[in-house]
């Protein structure tokens, strides 16, 4: 039995090769496995062993890993996974993650992770200037995900909105508002709460029939607030809403934000990386005018969880927004050392992992063009699903998004006029589908009606997978619908 925490290279290889073997088994067999499993209490307790006094064997470690990877999993990388917005996980990204862990660089300080920080700033510069079209000088930082990326941007917006000494004195006595659409993600609500602005400062602007923020309503809200002496801290446009994939009219909102001197932030957690596609880029006209953009490589770039990103037109704002008097343990004579940017001073996290490596590895190993083609194919598959739904006598389409989401519901003839029964039935269908395992989608509420929501951000998904989703919905729907007298169960 091992005596030391410091494993030899041979010990590392012995366990590493077994891990690799399991990974390959997962890759080989995933398409035949259920997308998700229903789990028992025994299965859950098998992966929560008591923490031992002495080491367990490699065999025991691998038995536990098999359970986690093969028995107790939902696979966002499964070709028939079409729920929420979850990337599939790239193969080169997984290798990079192992190597990043092996190196164990700290991307908080340049001295502790020179390679990690050089790669991270290279990538955020590339996204900011080449993909989104922000001016030279723009860059940002990787975060754990879209939630934190949006929080960082809104923190900087809050500080920049013109209220005096917010960082020193807090926001008391400085009435301010943040504007976003009704279809914005809940992390925006959460961010204004965390930032102490209060959720009441959030103005939820109504959306048009296509789910996009109404600029006339936005303008009215900003004007009303201005008359009442409320400062516009930020206007948040969504580039790809979570429900239907709508892209707010970025260009018009940018104009309004400039006129009103409001920080223009874009939550592009889902949609913004579609700018990699020349075909889809025009949907995002105006993105280049943003003050800050949040986006999620772990969604449509499929890089392994977790890794979101925020970029700023003027990154000095990030640095100022998180600056504190530097204690002696982080001071550094950079002239002498030649050190670069300490990203731990540009955001809320101090020690930081090397999240950029899996993104660089994936972009290099796949290339921009195949990435763009995969994103376009996902959009085409959502169109295909929409056409199948339209042609189906017992299905009704509820959304018309331009990205890769299609919302629909199952409508058996007997319930055709009964929205409440259809809501209840379709919600049940979603739940049954998620434990069924043949295909996977999630739900949304569109204009008050419950919809099944398929979001396709997976490079493995093909037409027959989308067709299968519809077949399974029909199968479960027919089974439930037959036993579903109108008026039952609500
Ligand atoms: C997913 C998503 C978020 C949240 O991002 P996480 O990476 O899950 O933290 C925020 N906004 C939008 C539009 C999203 O799609």
* Residues 441, 347 share a domain: no
pLDDT attached to residue 490: 46
Of all protein residues, whose CA lies closest to atom 8 belonging to ligand 1? Answer: 146
In a domain, 90, yes or no: no
Choice from 194, 267, 355 to test ligand 1 binding pocket (greatest atom count within 8 A of CB): 267
Q: Is 308 in the pocket of ligand 1 (CB under 6 A)?
A: yes
Q: Encode pLDDT of 133-149 as tens digits.
A: 999 999 999 999 999 99
Burial 400-433 (b: 16+ CB within 10 A, else e): bbbbbbbbbbbbbeebeeeeebbbbbbbbbbebb
Point out the domain boundary residue: 351, 366, 381: 366
Q: Is the pLDDT of residue 78 over 80?
A: yes
- Determine the average pLDDT of the residues in 433-445: 96
Q: Encode pLDDT of 94-125 as tens digits.
A: 999 999 999 999 999 999 999 999 999 999 99
The tokens for 321 are: 């927004």
Q: Is 242 in the pocket of ligand 1 (CB under 6 A)?
A: yes
pLDDT attached to residue 486: 54
In a domain, 357, yes or no: yes
From residue 7, how far is each of 19, 62, 105, 293 by CA, in Å?
16, 17, 19, 42
Q: Are 213 and 266 in contact (CB under 8 A)?
A: no
Q: Which domain holds residue 233?
A: 99-366
Q: Encode pLDDT of 194-248 as tens digits.
A: 999 999 999 999 999 999 999 999 999 999 999 999 999 999 999 999 999 999 9
* Residues 127, 57 share a domain: no
In a domain, 85, yes or no: no
In a domain, 308, yes or no: yes
Q: Which residues pair with 267 in a beta bridge?
A: 238, 294
* Residues 324, 242 share a domain: yes
Q: Is the pLDDT of residue 323 over 50?
A: yes
Position with higher pLDDT, 335 vs 303: 303
* Residues 360, 257 share a domain: yes
Point out the domain boundary residue: 318, 348, 366: 366
* Residues 392, 315 share a domain: no
In a domain, 189, yes or no: yes
Closest CA to 303 of 376, 247, 377, 354: 354
The pTM of the whole model exceeds 0.95: yes
Q: Is the pLDDT of residue 414 over 80?
A: yes
* Residues 209, 174 share a domain: yes
pLDDT attached to residue 302: 98
Residues in CB range of 395: below 8 A, 6 or more apart: 388, 389, 408, 409, 410, 411, 470, 473, 474
Q: Is the pLDDT of residue 331 over 80?
A: no
Q: How far is the CA of 1 from the centre of ligand 1 (A)?
A: 45
Q: Are 472 and 463 in contact (CB under 8 A)?
A: no
Q: Is the pLDDT of residue 307 over 60?
A: yes
Long-range pairs, 248-252, Cβ under 8 A, ≥24:
248/181, 248/212, 248/213, 249/212, 249/213, 249/215, 249/286, 250/284, 250/285, 250/286, 250/287, 250/289, 250/290, 251/285, 251/286, 251/289, 252/215, 252/286
pLDDT attached to residue 1: 61
Q: Is 297 in the pocket of ligand 1 (CB under 6 A)?
A: no
Instruction: Write down the residue that tokens 């997978």 correspond to.
Output: 465
Assign residue 299 the CATH number of its domain: 3.40.640.10
Q: Are 398 and 449 in contact (CB under 8 A)?
A: yes
Number of structural domains in the chain: 3
* Residues 342, 194 share a domain: yes
Of all protein residues, whose CA lies closest to atom 4 belonging to ligand 1? Answer: 146
* Residues 360, 390 share a domain: no
In a domain, 230, yes or no: yes
In a domain, 234, yes or no: yes
Q: Is the pLDDT of residue 2 over 80?
A: no
In a domain, 89, yes or no: no
- Determine the average pLDDT of the residues in 440-468: 97
pLDDT attached to residue 485: 62
Q: Is the pLDDT of residue 390 over 60?
A: yes
Q: Which residues pair with 263 in a beta bridge?
A: 234
Distance of CA 365 to the CA centre of its chain: 22
Least confident of 35-49, 90-104, 465-479: 35-49
Q: Is 85 in the pocket of ligand 1 (CB under 6 A)?
A: yes
Q: Are 473 and 429 in contact (CB under 8 A)?
A: yes
pLDDT attached to residue 38: 78
Q: Which ligand 1 atom minimizes the distance to the CA of 268?
A: 13
* Residues 305, 180 share a domain: yes
Averaged pLDDT score across all residues of the chain: 95
* Residues 113, 258 share a domain: yes
Point out the domain boundary residue: 366, 385, 402: 366
* Residues 344, 255 share a domain: yes
Using CA atoms, how far apart are residues 42 and 52, in angstroms rounded to an integer?
Answer: 20
Using CA atoms, how far apart are residues 469 and 490, in angstroms rounded to an integer?
Answer: 26
pLDDT attached to residue 379: 98
Least confident of 20-34, 211-225, 319-333: 319-333
Choice from 270, 302, 359, 444 to test ligand 1 binding pocket (greatest atom count within 8 A of CB): 270
Q: How far is the CA of 297 from the centre of ligand 1 (A)?
A: 11
Distance of CA 233 to the CA centre of its chain: 24
* Residues 127, 61 share a domain: no
pLDDT attached to residue 411: 96
């Amino acid at each position: 039995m091992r005596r030391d925490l410091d494993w030899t290279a041979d010990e590392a290889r012995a366990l590493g090769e077994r891990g690799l073997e399991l990974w390959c088994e997962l890759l080989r067999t995933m398409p035949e496995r259920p997308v998700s499993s229903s789990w028992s209490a025994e299965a859950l307790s098998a992966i929560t062993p008591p923490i031992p006094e002495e080491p367990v064997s490699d065999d025991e470690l691998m038995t536990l890993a098999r359970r986690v990877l093969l028995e107790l999993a939902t696979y966002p990388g499964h070709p028939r996974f079409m729920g929420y917005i979850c990337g599939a996980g790239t193969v080169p990204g997984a290798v990079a993650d192992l190597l990043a862990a092996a190196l164990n660089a700290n991307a908080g300080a340049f001295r502790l992770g020179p390679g990690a920080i050089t790669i991270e700033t290279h990538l955020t510069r590339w996204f900011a200037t080449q993909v989104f079209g922000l001016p030279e000088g723009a860059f940002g930082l990787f975060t754990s995900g879209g939630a934190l990326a949006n929080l960082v941007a809104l923190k900087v917006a809050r500080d920049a909105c013109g209220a005096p000494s917010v960082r020193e004195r807090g926001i008391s006595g400085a009435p301010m508002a943040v504007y976003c659409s009704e279809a914005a993600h809940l992390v925006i609500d959460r961010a204004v709460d965390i930032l102490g602005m209060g959720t009441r400062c959030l103005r939820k602007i109504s959306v048009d029939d296509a789910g996009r923020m109404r600029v006339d309503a936005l303008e009215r809200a900003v004007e009303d607030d201005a008359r009442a002496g409320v400062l516009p801290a930020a206007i948040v446009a969504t580039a790809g809403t979570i429900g239907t994939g709508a892209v707010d009219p970025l260009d018009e909102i940018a104009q309004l934000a400039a006129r009103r001197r409001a920080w223009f932030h874009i939550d592009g957690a889902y949609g913004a990386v579609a700018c990699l596609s020349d075909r889809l880029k025009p949907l995002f006209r105006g993105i280049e005018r943003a003050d800050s953009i949040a986006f999620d490589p772990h969604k449509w770039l499929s890089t392994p969880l977790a890794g979101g990103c925020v970029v700023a037109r003027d990154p000095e704002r990030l640095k100022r927004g998180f600056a504190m008097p530097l204690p002696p343990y982080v001071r550094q004579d950079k002239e002498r050392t030649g050190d670069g940017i300490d990203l731990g001073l540009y955001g809320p996290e101090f020690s930081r992992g090397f999240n950029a490596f899996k993104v660089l590895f994936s972009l290099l190993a796949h290339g921009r063009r195949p990435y763009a083609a995969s994103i376009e194919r996902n959009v085409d598959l959502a169109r295909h699903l929409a056409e199948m739904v339209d042609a189906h006598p017992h299905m009704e389409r509820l959304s018309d998004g331009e990205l890769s989401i299609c919302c629909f519901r199952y409508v058996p003839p007997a319930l055709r006029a009964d929205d409440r029964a259809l809501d209840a039935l379709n919600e049940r269908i979603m739940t049954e589908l998620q434990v069924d395992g043949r295909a996977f989608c999630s739900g949304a509420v569109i204009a008050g009606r419950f919809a099944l929501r398929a979001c396709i951000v997976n490079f493995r998904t093909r037409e027959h997978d989308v067709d299968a989703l519809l077949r399974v919905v029909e199968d479960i729907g027919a089974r439930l619908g037959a036993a579903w007298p109108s008026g039952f169960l609500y």
